[in-house]
A and B are shown apart, each in its own frame.
Chain A
């Protein structure tokens, strides 16, 4: 067979030797395996000083005075800087976006100027020749505070008697949104059973294993700021740093090399990091800040703190007639900048009931200010909450009418042949696979066998439960996410590919890498589309000076958006290479193909290697036909335009055992079936799913930022804030359905957050299933032994 025949009608991705759909190992992992990565915490620059922040011990207090006299005299101290002093070189910000209508917030400073609004907000910075010396001196900065009344309880945050945190805003309401679709009251009236419960979601946080770290290097001679930062969105950071430090964007270079965990925690830019940039500009030398673990708990964004009343109306035949929610969340004293703190609530309200045909839905969400650490987007953003409410209600409805949880889902999920279609709230679904995914899940977990085992074990006093949760997930967001609201956060991504003089493909992409495999995904696509081995592709990312402009890695967008840009750029380069080959070999471009780095002709005959082609193109262009100029570099950008988001779907199941004496939950097994469209690397997708699941399992059972009524975070350390350990986690089996998006040639949708979306919901449902003989329903996470034993009436 000739190469021309092999590839006729085939996408480059389907060609022989394609890496698409192959579980190849990620390139360039040796440096991480050998401890030779370069995380920001590893970076040391000449004349670098270390910043340590003095933080407010009060949740709300006026700063009466700061005495730095003694601190300034201490060993190694270079400077002590207050908020008022720093405000001369950096402007404050307000975390609002115009498309989140009515969202309000107050100006936030890099370092508090007059008032600290949460325990842990920085009130001064100490700079010294080592972190230890800076910490020594920080203890000698004397801050006089006048404590102010605190707002900590979200339930009373809007009461007239509650103090208003920012008087100029008029109240503590940051954002409110309502949805009313269909005929909700009628639907409840004709329902045979109505379930009405309150769900409580504990506040938790990402706990990236490497704390937030930054080295800011203002070079006065170049008038440039180089920022080494563990971050997912370097171009966003470039914009924000320039804007608030009175610089042009071209004066700011942001470098994101190895990042020790991100999960959305590092998609934001924090006041501490902004202060570090400003301090570097002020001191005209590099400044490093690495958060310690206590600071991480007090200042990394938190998420999920929601109280939500949920109602569902169901008929005896299993038809779900209506959903209704009333959601309340407290997000700290400021809306996070620039992505805001209203997105999680906004996602919750739009995603309720997502997998189902139910036409009637009423929802309200309110976001209130409080004197706690700021909340904002963390992996899954709203999905875990919407999924837990929806799937919790569906299970309770099934229980109310005596129907199996799988059966009620089958009767109500949108049919797999119904697409494209819109949800009652106007979400646009291109192609989902709820039924096929559920069928596959039921087969994988051997649902009927588990039910039989459950019944048998119950007779022996062993209480096991099965929990199932379906979900839809927002991926591949277009400009609707941030751009339309006025944020300079790009929804498009760009990829440049070039064939260098040695025949190696150099690829620069605006997507970033935090371990999910962006580099591998890019190399697999580019290598496949051009026709070279992956070893011949070098990917450059995380550098605003050396990559095209783009959004980065967040909202499960890397593969679907930057992957498509990589494909299109590589196809153009492939065409240019073939044109050059045709010029050298005196034929037509269509007569040739590139197979494993070799130009072959229509008879499959190997003609010249790519490094021979590049030798001629770069060093002997005089031998080419007159007027022919090889263009061995190509750039393409991509953003989805047809759909605001590419929705994906999935379903998860948990099998667990509740010890009714101790209240402990033992996770036995977890299953996931998800549909992210075209899969580039199944191993990487599976591992994204597993990692996300375990973060959701942590939320379900352990993770909780516990504040007292005075706004003190009482468990800001790793011994008291529990994260999942290996021994507590189950094996996780992952299966796939594949419904590609037709909007792109690649057909890929996102997978990074699907695991987190449904894991906690399954566990809650499984615990309630296990405890059903006791007539107990718990709709709160984390499901601690205390919570379970209290529900059982044992304590």
Chain B
């Protein structure tokens, strides 16, 4: 086995230094080393999307990259986005619309939805469905999620005037 490697990165605006095995993926690093368990592991092969986090501003599947690849990176998880208030309106819309049931896909779904709204502030329902298609939800049937993202987009546009 290859020896642990030191890494340094920023996670949710905090500097993190750790010794990790080269084979450790970013999802397991966040969950097992930093106790950031809001990043969920659903398939461990990059399909379900439950482990989606933001790395250097882009959403990625944290089960498909290694922790050592995040050297010097800026990583944001659902805990970070929640504490900063960046997606408070989106979270509230999900709550009001019951756009979550078991909640296991939800942190990653919020990540993906926010990613869409940052790049396309006025998506139609088909565009929302397309952008969220890398995130599986087995509970809701997606309709309520699309509603919540759509209403958040409209509210943000209104606020922006």
A and B assemble together: yes
Q: Which residues of A contact B (CB under 8 A)?
A: 25-26, 29-30, 32-39, 41-42, 75, 132, 206-211, 258-263, 292-293, 514-517, 683-684, 687, 690-695, 717-719, 723-729, 731-732, 755
Are the C-beta atoms of B100 and A36 separated by less than 8 Å?
no
Interface residues of B in 31-84 (CB under 8 A from A): 31, 36-45, 47-48, 50, 77-79, 82
Chain B interface category by residue count = 35 or more
Give which listed residue, A263, A684, A687, contacts B138 with CB less than 8 A.
A263
Q: How far is the CB of B14 from chain A (nearest CB, A)?
A: 16
CB proximity of A756 to chain B, nearest CB, Å: 11
A687 and B101 within 8 A (CB): yes
Establish whether residues B45 and A39, one from each chain, have CB atoms under 8 Å apart when the complex forms: no
Report A-chain residues with C-beta under 8 Å of the C-beta of B40.
35, 39, 41, 209-210, 260
Q: Which residues of A contact B146 (CB under 8 A)?
A: 726, 731
A673 to B82, CA, bound (A): 37
28 A-B residue pairs with Cβ-Cβ distance under 8 Å, sorted by A, are: A26-B98, A29-B100, A30-B91, A33-B82, A33-B94, A34-B78, A34-B82, A35-B38, A35-B39, A35-B78, A37-B38, A38-B37, A39-B37, A41-B37, A41-B40, A132-B21, A132-B24, A209-B104, A258-B103, A293-B45, A514-B101, A514-B102, A515-B101, A516-B101, A687-B144, A726-B135, A726-B146, A727-B133
Main secondary structure on chain B at its contact with chain A?
A: loop
- Give the 9 A-B residue pairs with the shortest CB-CB distance, closest first: A35-B38, A32-B103, A515-B101, A260-B104, A35-B78, A694-B141, A515-B102, A718-B47, A690-B141
B136 touches A209 (CB 8 A): yes
Cβ of B114 under 8 Å from chain A: no
Q: B9 in the interface, Cβ–Cβ < 8 Å?
A: no
Chain B residues near A209: list those with CB within 8 A: 40, 42, 48, 50, 102, 104-105, 136-138
Pairwise interchain contact A25-B82, C-beta atoms closer than 8 A? no
- With A209-B104, A261-B139, A292-B44 as known contacts, state yes or no: A34 contacts B38, CB within 8 Å: yes
Inter-chain contact A258/B98, CB cutoff 8 Å: no
A262 CB contacts on chain B under 8 angstroms: 102
Q: Flag whether B145 is at the interface (Cβ < 8 A).
A: yes
Given contacts A132-B23, A211-B42, A517-B101, 14 further A-B contacts (CB under 8 A): A30-B91, A39-B37, A41-B37, A209-B42, A209-B102, A209-B137, A261-B138, A514-B101, A514-B102, A687-B101, A687-B140, A725-B133, A726-B128, A726-B133
Restricting to B81-111, which residues have a CB under 8 Å from any CB of A?
82, 91, 94-98, 100-107, 110
The distance from the CB of B41 to the nearest CB of chain A, in whole angstroms, is 7
Q: In the assembled complex, which residues on chain A have CB atoms less than 8 Å from the CB atom of B38? A: 34-37
Query: By the criterion CB–CB under 8 Å, are B140 and A33 in contact?
Result: no
Partner of B100, one of A207, A210, A515, A695: A515
Max chain B CB contacts within 10 Å: which of A132, A206, A292, A718? A718
Q: How far is the CA of A726 from the CA of B133 in the complex (A)?
A: 5
Which of A37, A211, A695 has the largest count of B CB atoms less than 10 A from its CB? Answer: A37
How far does the alpha carbon of A280 sit from the alpha carbon of B98 in the complex, in Å? 38
Main secondary structure of the interface of A (DSSP, over half): loop
Task: Let me know if B79 and A695 touch, CB within 8 A.
Answer: no
Please give, as numbers and ranges, the residues of chain A lying within 8 Å of B96 by CB-CB distance.
25
Point out the residues of chain A lying under 8 angstroms from B126, CB to CB: 727
Residues of B within 8 A of A259 (CB): 102
CB < 8 Å neighbour of B45 from A261, A719, A726: A719
* Residue among A33, A211, A293, A516 having the largest count of chain B Cβ atoms under 10 Å: A33
A514 to B43, CA, bound (A): 19
CB proximity of B113 to chain A, nearest CB, Å: 11
A739, B143: Cα distance in complex, Å: 26
B132, CB-defined interface residue at 8 Å: yes
List, in ascending order, chain A residues with CB within 8 A of B78's CB.
34-35
Contact call B143/A732, Cβ cutoff below 8 A: yes
B158 at the A interface (CB under 8 A): no
Q: CA separation between A692 and B143, bound complex, in Å? A: 12
- Residues in B neighbouring A687, C-beta threshold 8 A: 98, 101, 140-141, 144
Q: Do B103 and A726 touch (CB < 8 A)? A: no
Q: Are B42 and A690 in contact (CB under 8 A)?
A: no
Asked if B98 and A207 sit within 8 Å, CB to CB, the answer is no
Q: Is the CB of A729 within 8 A of B23?
A: no
Q: Does B125 contact A (CB under 8 A)?
A: yes
In the assembled complex, the Cα of A33 lies from the Cα of B23 at a distance in Å of 30
- State the CA gap A221–B137 with chains docked (Å): 42
Cα separation A510 to B36 with both chains bound (whole Å) = 31
> Could you tell me the distance in whole angstroms from the C-beta of B92 to the nearest C-beta in chain A?
8
Contact (Cβ within 8 A) B136 A725: yes
A26 to B137, CA, bound (A): 18
What is the minimal beta-carbon distance from A302 to any residue of chain B, in angstroms? 15
Given contacts A34-B79, A687-B144, A690-B141, contact A515 B45 (CB under 8 A): no
CA distance A76 to B35 in the complex (A): 21
Q: Is the CB of A208 within 8 A of B103?
A: no
Q: Which of A25, A32, A517 has the most CB of B within 10 A?
A: A32
User: Does the CB pair B141–A29 fall under 8 Å?
Assistant: no
Distance between Cα atoms of A34 and B129 in the complex (Å): 22
B94 CB to closest chain A CB (Å) equals 6
Also in contact, A727 and B129, with CB within 8 A (given A259-B102, A718-B45): yes
Closest residue to A133 on the B side, CB-wise?
B1
The closest CB in chain B to the CB of A719 belongs to B47
Nearest Cβ distance between residue A294 and chain B, in whole angstroms? 9
Q: How far is the CB of B2 from chain A (nearest CB, A)?
A: 13
A683 cross-chain contacts in B, Cβ below 8 A: 97-98
Of listed B37, B41, B143, residue having the most chain A CB within 10 A:
B143
**In the complex, what's the smallest C-beta–C-beta distance from A688 to chain B, in angstroms?**
8
Write the chain B residue with the least CB distance to A136: B1
CA distance A690 to B79 in the complex (A): 29
* Shortest beta-carbon distance from B142 to chain A in Å: 4
| Residue among A211, A259, A726 with the highest chain B CB neighbour number at 10 A | A726
Q: Decide yes or no: A690 and B104 within 8 Å by CB, A30-B95, A718-B45, A718-B48 being known contacts.
A: no
Residue on B with the closest CB to A514? B102
The answer to whether A726 and B102 touch (CB under 8 A), given A33-B82, A36-B38, A261-B138, is: no
Asked if B79 and A35 sit within 8 Å, CB to CB, the answer is: yes
Q: Which residues of A contact B23 (CB under 8 A)?
A: 132
Contact at A729–B48, with CB atoms within 8 Å?
Answer: no
Q: How far apart sit A210 and B138, CA to CA, in the bound complex (Å)?
A: 10
Cβ of A206: which chain B residues have Cβ within 8 Å of it?
138
Closest chain B CB from A736 CB (angstroms)? 16
